[in-house]
Amino acid sequence: MLRAAHFKLIAIVSIFVTILSVVGLTVLVVLWHKKLSPFQDYALVVDAGSTHSKIFLYTWPADKSDGLGETSRITQVKACNVPGGAITSISDPTLANAKEYFDSAMSDCISEIPSTRKSRAYIFLGGTAGLRLFNMSNSSYTNSLLASTRAYFSTLGVLIKAPESQVRIISGSEEGLSGWISTNILMGQLFENNKPFDTYGVSDMGGASTQISFISPNATNDRFDMTLFDTQYDLYSHSYLCYGTEQLRLLHLGQLVNKANGSLRIDEPCLQYGYLQNLTYDNIFNTPCAQNQYAPLSSLDTSSKFTFVGLGNSTRCSVLIQERLNESVCTSTTCSFNNVYQPKPISASLKFIAISAWYTTFQNLAPNVSLSPDQDGNFNFSKVNFSQIKAAINAICNQPWSDQLPPKDQYRPFLCFNSMYHWTLLEYGYSMNDTNLRNFQIVKKINSNDIGWTLGFMINQTNTISAEFRPTRLITQSEFAGLLFLCLLVLIASAIISGLAVRFCARRQGY
C-alpha cells in the first residue's frame, strides 16, 4: 500500500516533469520562430503621383511559401504619405533637397523593417502620368530629379542593386498592368482561382492619363505575357497619355478657344448651365498635351483671360467629346480611337472594374441614376443601361448653377464634362454596350483595400527576387509536430498526476 511519503515523491516528480514539459514547449516555440518559420522579406514602393507621393511597405515570406511558382503573395505593412505635394515640388533636384522631401515619411516606413532584414529590403520608385508629362516638356529636369532620388535612396541602407530600373518613370502600360494585378489579386482571381478567363478587365481613370487592361490571348499589339502564381496570362493593355479627365478638359477648352475667333467670352456646352469660369491662357495651354492639333493658334495673345459660360447642353457636349475620340482613322484590324489598336468586340462575358476617378465622378452622378452603392460603397451596373446614364448626365448638365443651395460644391460645375467624358469613352471609345454593362462595376475599395498600382507592381517584382531559405534545420516540421504533441501529452498527464498526488497528501495530513 502506498504511503504518504510515496505520494509526496510522486507529486515532486510530477511537478518536476510538468516544469520540464513547459520548458520543452517554450524551446519548441522558440525553435519554430527561429529555425522553422521562414524569414520575412520587405520592400518599399514609392508612388510618385501628379499631386503627391506615397510610400508603401510590403512584406512576404522570403522562401515564397505562401505563393506559387516564383510569385509570392504580399502583405502591406504600412503606408506613409510624403508631405509637400508632388515630387516635382523639388525645384532644385539635389541630394539634399531629395532628402528633405522624402526623409520624414521614409524614416517612418523604414523603422518598421527589422534591422536584420533591412539590408535585403528592396526599394522602388515609379513615376506615373504626371512625371511622364513633365518628361515631355523638361527631360533634363526629370533626369536630374531621378538621379538625386537614386543618390538619396543609396544612403538608406536598403537594397538598390539596379538604380536605373528601381527608380524610374514607369510606362502607362506597366501602370495599367500593375493595376490589373492589384484588382484581380484582391478579387481572388489570382492564386486562389488561376483561370485567366475568369479575371476582371480594369479601366483606370486618372487626371493625366487613362488605362485599360484585359485578358486577350489573340491581341496583335499592346500584348503582354505575364507569369503569375505559375499561370500564364496574355493581356492587352494600353495607356492614353493626356486622356485623363483633367488633361482632356484642358484640350477641350483649348479647342473652344481656338474656334472662338478671338472672343474672350466663350460658350461651354459641357459646363453646368449658368456657371462662369475664368481662366488665363497659361491655365489652358501650359501643358505638354497642348501640341500638334491641340496647340494654341499663333494669333492668340498669351496674356489673354477667357470667360467660359456654362450652357449645360449635353447633346452638344457629347459631340465635342466624340471629336476628341477620333475614330476616322484605323490602320490596324480594329481600333478604339486615335488610331490605337484595341481587340474588338470586348466579350460580353468579360467582367470589368473601373477605378480611381471613375469612382469619384460617378458617386456624384449615382443619385440621378437611382443607383445605390453596395455595402462596400461600390456600384454594380447589372440592371442599368446606357440610356439611363445618358438621361442622368443630361439632367445634371441642364440643372442651373443658381439652383445649387449653399454651400456650393466647387467641383459640381464640372460633373457634366467629367461624366460625359467617362461614359462616352466607355461606349464610343471602347465600344462597350448594354450587354457589357451587365458585368461592369465602379469600385473604390475591395475588402477595405484601396486599389492602386503599387500592390500589383510588387507582386510582379517577387518573380525576380530570389527566394531565401533558413540554414539547415535542426528538425523537420513533422518532427516538430510530433515533439509538440508529446510535450503537451506529458504536460497534461503530469499536471493531472501532480494535482491528484498533492490533493491526497493534503487529505492524509488532515487526519
Q: How confident is the model at residue 37 (pLDDT cuts 50, 70, 90)?
A: low
Domain shared by 44 and 30, yes or no: no
Residue 154 lies in a domain: yes
Residue 102: domain span: 39-170
Q: Which segments of 370-400 does DSSP mark as H helices, in order?
A: 386-398
- Which grid cell is 484? 509538440
Shared domain for 85 and 13, answered yes or no, is no
The pLDDT of 268-279, averaged and rounded, is 96
Is residue 88 in some structural domain?
A: yes
Indicate whether 473 pLDDT > 60: no
Whether residue 115 is found in the same domain as residue 166: yes
Based on the fold, state whether residues 28 and 48 are members of the same structural domain: no
In angstroms, the Cα distances linking 494 to 10, 15, 22 are 10, 7, 11
Indicate whether 253 belongs to any domain.
Answer: yes
Mean pLDDT of 304-308: 97
Residues 186-223: tens digit of each pLDDT: 999 998 888 999 999 999 999 999 999 999 999 999 99
Mean pLDDT of the chain: 89
Give yes or no: residues 26 and 50 share one domain. Answer: no
pLDDT (mean) for 260-280: 96
* Domain limit, last residue, from 170, 200, 230: 170
**Domain CATH number, residue 96:** 3.30.420.40
Q: What is the mean pLDDT of residues 112-137?
A: 94
| CB burial readout 239-273, b (16+ within 10 A) else e | bbbbbbbbbbbbbbbbbbbbebeeeeebebbbbbb
Q: Which residues are annotated as a binding site for ATP?
A: 207-211
Residue 89 falls inside a structural domain: yes
Same domain assignment for residues 258 and 306: yes
pLDDT tens for each residue of 40-63: 999 999 999 888 999 999 999 988
pLDDT at 158: 97
How much is the average pLDDT of 370-384?
92
Indicate if the pLDDT at residue 338 is higher than 60. yes
The pLDDT assigned to 34 comes to 53
Q: What are the binding residues?
A: 207-211
Considering the domain boundaries, does residue 374 fall inside one?
Answer: no
The pLDDT value recorded for residue 408 is 79
- Choosing from 170, 187, 204, the residue where a domain stops is 170
pLDDT of residue 511: 47
Q: Which helix (H) or strand (E) holds 237?
A: strand 231-241
Rounded-to-integer distance, Cα 25 and Cα 486, Å: 10
What's the mean pLDDT in 340-363? 95
pLDDT reading at 23 higher than 90: no
- SS3 (DSSP) at 463: coil
Tens-place pLDDT, residues 166-181: 999 999 999 999 999 9
Whether residue 27 sits in one domain with residue 8: yes
Measured distance CA(395)–CA(385) in Å, rounded:
16
Q: Which of 170, 185, 210 is the last residue of a domain?
A: 170
**Strand extents, DSSP E, 338-477:** 351-356, 379-380, 440-442, 445-446, 449-450
Residue 4 in this model has a pLDDT that exceeds 70: no
Q: Looking at the structure, tell me whether residues 126 and 17 fall in a common domain.
A: no
Integer Cα distance of 124 and 80 in angstroms? 14
pLDDT at 469: 64
The reply to whether 361 falls in a domain is no
Mean pLDDT along residues 419-437: 96
Tally of domains in the chain: 3
pTM here is: 0.84
Distance in angstroms (rounded) separating the CA atoms of residues 421 and 439: 20
Same domain, 159 and 61: yes
Taking 80 as the threshold, does the pLDDT of residue 76 lie above it?
yes
Tell me the pLDDT band of 140, cut-offs 50, 70 and 90. Answer: very high
Residue 431 pLDDT > 60, yes or no?
yes
**15 pLDDT higher than 80:** no
Please give the pLDDT value at position 316: 97
Which residues are known to be catalytic?
175
Backbone angles phi, psi at 376, to 5 degrees: -95, 0
pLDDT in tens, 389-410: 999 999 999 999 988 877 778 8
Same domain, 145 and 165: yes
Share of the chain above pLDDT 70, in %: 86
pLDDT at residue 509, rounded to an integer = 57
Q: Which three cell numbers mark 150?
A: 537614386
More confident residue, 257 or 327: 257
Q: Are residues 51 and 126 in the same domain?
A: yes
Residue 464 is assigned to a structural domain of this protein: no
Asked if residue 309 is part of any domain, the answer here is: yes
Same domain, 112 and 64: yes
